[in-house]
Amino acid sequence: MKIDCSGLACPEPVLQTKKALESLPNDSILEVIVDNIASRENVVRFAQNGGLETRVESLSDGKTLVSIIKGFACQIVTNSKDDAFLDKTLFLKSHTVGEGELGEKLVVGFLKSALELPKIPKRLICVNTAVYLTSAEEDSPIMEVLKALEAKGVEIYSCGICLEFYGRMDQLKVGKIGNAYGTLEMLFGGEGTISL
Amino acid sequence: MNNEAKLTKYVKAAGCAAKLGPGDLTEAIGGLNCTHEKVLVGMDESDDASVYYLDEERALVQTVDIITPVVDDPFVYGQIAAANSLSDVFAMGGEVATAMNIVGFDGCHQPRSVLKEILAGGQSKVNECGGVIIGGHTIEAPEMTYGMSVTGFVHPQKIYRNNTPRVGDVLILTKPLGMGVLTTSIKADMLEDSVVEKVASILATLNHKASRIMQKYDVSACTDITGFGLLGHAYEMSFHRVSIGFWMSKIPILEEARAMADMGIIPAGAYNNKAYVNMYVDAKVPHKDEILLYDAQTSGGLLIAVSQKDAPKLLQELLDEGLSYSAIIAEVFEKEEKPLFYM
């Protein structure tokens, strides 16, 4: 099936693509012709958001042909997001692992290594002095690691009472503030908890 | 909301999403010579409003803005268009005195009663900030447009410019992003009524309160986020003298806007802004929602550069006064390779 969305402004190309895709059976190809960057980007975005394969070709008349494969195509579309996570919660009670200066380095090292793992824990909960980590200086090594974890989709929670106790409420730079109830629910609800 | 008039269905683009791109605009007005000894802030500075010196106590602040409908309810559209027009005066630190309506009325699709409601909505917002509507002009037009020419006053020594932030300041944004995406979604009938109402109430919120509050603190620059998106306006703020680093996770973006953007409901204005500003952004860390930072905002919030010492107090007062999306989103640094970057 082929639809021509030339000359149409957002949101029309996406709406027409959506309608056409819905009318098609699985394992068929929809070709959408667009004539501007916004329409091209939006149609591709829409298809990819639905987990569909797309191919983009420039046509000789300056327009663009977006081909969308409805169905499994040659690749099996998996929900890669869930696969990346262990159903585990990492529970940090201190800003160090063990005592002293080495302990501070170990936290950074441990979390940095966790980043490299094929599967990473789903959640990170910081209580007591562990909230120092989530409220550390902006360019500190620990902040870099935590932000990278967050960018990968790890949910990071810091204990609100602890932040308040240490006067660092306004310095939280990564993740969200968690409450006692939510924390307990996560600790008991997940498959497992790892404590450092 | 009264959506019977379906205002957004008869226009090509919604609100500021219909704005001409910054590149096009610079080229068009670049050749005009508009300098004068009494003009304190003029066109060559790409600030929010112009300022004209009257005497030691007063300067005139003038601005004009029109938008196409962003919601289907005429009264609410009037309110939003007014909030959008008035905002430039507040961004300069001024108070509104008078306003004149400017209407392009689509008489082919709408009865006269719709016009009455639009104007009533506009008036309600002008009155809210202590101003008065003293006239206006209406023409028949193929697409509905409404806005105002606004006149206000500011103390000539207390003008808040958009390009004078100091190194070490942080930036506070007072409204969430995503309004261009959401108003386009409204036009496509893709949002539930409750979401439309939430979006409309954010759009109709005046920047008056935020402006008054910021004047109590150590603020070095201010602008309002409108058609050029957060990064477009931040780029103007950097003025190639400083660099601005953004804490991506701190930038308030409406959840519904993220969902709509993922579905590809992104108006062309966002891509135009990106094409123009992208080269000034050091985006080492790619970000999923980056396009929303370029999203053209209708009646967006103020972007305020404030000293780090005063920032928490200013933020707290904004939050206490009901501007609940306010957040510290960026810091101003010595000039680096690019004017804008992500942290």
Q: Which residues of A touch B275 (CB under 8 A)?
A: 37
Q: Which residues of A touch B268 (CB under 8 A)?
A: 9-10, 36-39
CB contact under 8 A, B265 and A9: no
Tell me, which fold does domain B7-154 have in CATH? 60s Ribosomal Protein L30; Chain: A; (3.30.1330)
Rounded Cα distance, B217 and B1, in Å? 38
CB contact under 8 A, B268 and A9: yes
- At B32, is the pLDDT very low, low, confident or very high (cuts 50, 70, 90)? confident
The tens digit of pLDDT for each residue in A19-61 reads 999 999 888 899 999 998 899 999 999 998 888 989 999 998 9
Structure confidence at residue B170 (pLDDT): 98
Asked if the model's pLDDT at residue B76 lies above 90, the reply is yes
Structure confidence at residue B105 (pLDDT): 95
- Taking the CA of residue B313 and the nearest CA in chain A, the distance in Å comes to 11
Burial class (CB in 10 A: 0-12, 13-18, 19+), B220: middle
Structure confidence at residue B206 (pLDDT): 98
Pairing of strands B340-342, B281-282: parallel
Structure confidence at residue B51 (pLDDT): 96
Q: What CATH number is given to the structural domain containing A23?
A: 3.30.110.40
Average pLDDT (B214-218) is 98
CB contact under 8 A, A42 and B264: yes
Structure confidence at residue A175 (pLDDT): 87
A9 near B CB under 8 A: yes
Among residues A19, A42, A70, which one ends one of the domains?
Answer: A70
A114 within a domain of the structure (yes/no)? yes
Q: Which of residues 14-43 of A touch B (CB under 8 A)?
A: 14-15, 36-39, 41-43
Higher-pLDDT residue of B147 and B20 is B147
Average pLDDT (B216-243) is 96
Same domain, A171 and A105: yes
Chain B: which residues have CB within 8 Å of chain A?
A: 12-13, 184-185, 187-188, 190, 247, 249, 261-268, 270-272, 275, 285, 312, 331, 343
**Each residue's pLDDT expressed in tens, for chain A with a length of 196 residues:** 999 999 998 889 999 999 999 999 888 899 999 998 899 999 999 998 888 989 999 998 989 999 999 876 554 444 445 567 777 888 888 888 887 788 888 888 888 888 877 778 888 888 888 999 999 988 888 998 899 888 888 889 888 888 888 888 888 899 888 777 777 777 776 567 777 7
Same domain, A53 and A85: no
Structure tokens at B51: 């300022």
Give me Rg for the CA atoms of chain B: 19
Q: Which residues of A touch B263 (CB under 8 A)?
A: 14, 45-46, 49
Same domain, A21 and A44: yes
**Nearest by CB: A45 against B190, B249, B262:** B262
Same domain, A61 and A87: no
Query: Which 8-state DSSP code applies to residue B134?
Result: E
Q: What angle, 0 to 180 degrees and rounded to 10, lies between the N-to-C axes of helices B268-277 and A37-49?
A: 110
Domain that holds residue A65: 2-70
Same domain, A103 and A153: yes
Average pLDDT (B241-251) is 95
Q: What CATH number is given to the structural domain containing A99?
A: 3.40.1260.10
Rounded Cα distance, A139 and A173, in Å? 11
Asked if the model's pLDDT at residue B199 lies above 70, the reply is yes
The tens digit of pLDDT for each residue in B48-64 reads 899 999 999 999 999 99
Which residue, A73, A85, A82, is CA-closest to A47?
A73
Structure confidence at residue B50 (pLDDT): 94
- At B19, is the pLDDT very low, low, confident or very high (cuts 50, 70, 90)? low
Same domain, A126 and A100: yes
Same domain, A101 and A171: yes
Same domain, A143 and A61: no
Question: Would you say the C-alpha torsion B208, B211, B215, B216 has a positive or negative sign?
Answer: positive
| Number of domains making up chain A | 2
CATH superfamily of B170-342: PurM-like C-terminal domain (3.90.650.10)
Name the percent of chain A in helix, strand, coil, to the closest 5. Answer: 40, 25, 30
Half-sphere exposure of B335 (CA within 13 A, CB side): 8
Same domain, A187 and A91: yes
Same domain, A47 and A104: no
Percent residues over pLDDT 90 in chain B: 83
Asked if the model's pLDDT at residue B221 lies above 80, the reply is yes
Q: Which residues of A touch B312 (CB under 8 A)?
A: 170
Burial class (CB in 10 A: 0-12, 13-18, 19+), A144: middle
* B16 is an active site residue: yes
Structure tokens at B199: 């979006």
**Nearest by CB: B312 against A36, A39, A170:** A170
A123 within a domain of the structure (yes/no)? yes
Same domain, A45 and A8: yes
Which residue, A186, A195, A196, is CA-closest to A123?
A186
A103 within a domain of the structure (yes/no)? yes
Same domain, A66 and A84: no
Asked if the model's pLDDT at residue B331 lies above 70, the reply is yes
Average pLDDT (B294-303) is 96
The yes/no answer to whether this complex scores an ipTM above 0.90 is: no
Query: Which 8-state DSSP code applies to residue A160?
Result: H
Higher-pLDDT residue of B234 and B343 is B234
Structure tokens at B256: 């519904």
**Where in chain B are the domains?**
7-154, 170-342
The tens digit of pLDDT for each residue in B113-142 reads 999 999 999 999 999 999 999 999 999 999
Which residue, B149, B175, B173, B164, is CA-closest to B49?
B149
Q: Which candidate in B170, B246, B266 is best for mutational testing of the A interface (most A CBs within 10 A)? A: B266
- At B43, is the pLDDT very low, low, confident or very high (cuts 50, 70, 90)? confident
Higher-pLDDT residue of B162 and A163 is B162
Higher-pLDDT residue of B19 and B229 is B229
- Taking the CA of residue B184 and the nearest CA in chain A, the distance in Å comes to 7
